[in-house]
Amino acid sequence: MPVEEIQGYNEFQRDTARIEKGFPEAMRQASISIATEWIAAAQTMAGLRQQARAAQSLIMATNTEGAQIRSDLEWFGGAEFGGQGRPQTMQFPPYMGQRGYFLWPAERQNDDRFMQTWDDGVQAAMIPWNRHG
Has residue 11 been placed in a domain? no
Q: Count the domains in the chain.
A: 1
Confidence band of 133 (pLDDT split at 50, 70, 90): very low
pLDDT of 10 reads 83
Has residue 17 been placed in a domain? no
Has residue 131 been placed in a domain? no
Has residue 101 been placed in a domain? yes
Average pLDDT value for the chain:
90
Has residue 76 been placed in a domain? yes
Residue range of the domain that includes 36: 29-121
Is the pLDDT score of 1 beyond 60?
Answer: no
Yes or no: say if 24 and 65 are a contact pair by the CB < 8 Å rule: yes
DSSP string, 33-90: HHHHHHHHHHHHH--SHHHHHHHHT-EEEE-SS-EEEE---TTHHHHHH-B-SSGGGT
Range of weakest confidence among 21-30, 50-59, 110-119, 124-133? 124-133
The CA distance from 59 to 21, in Å, is 28
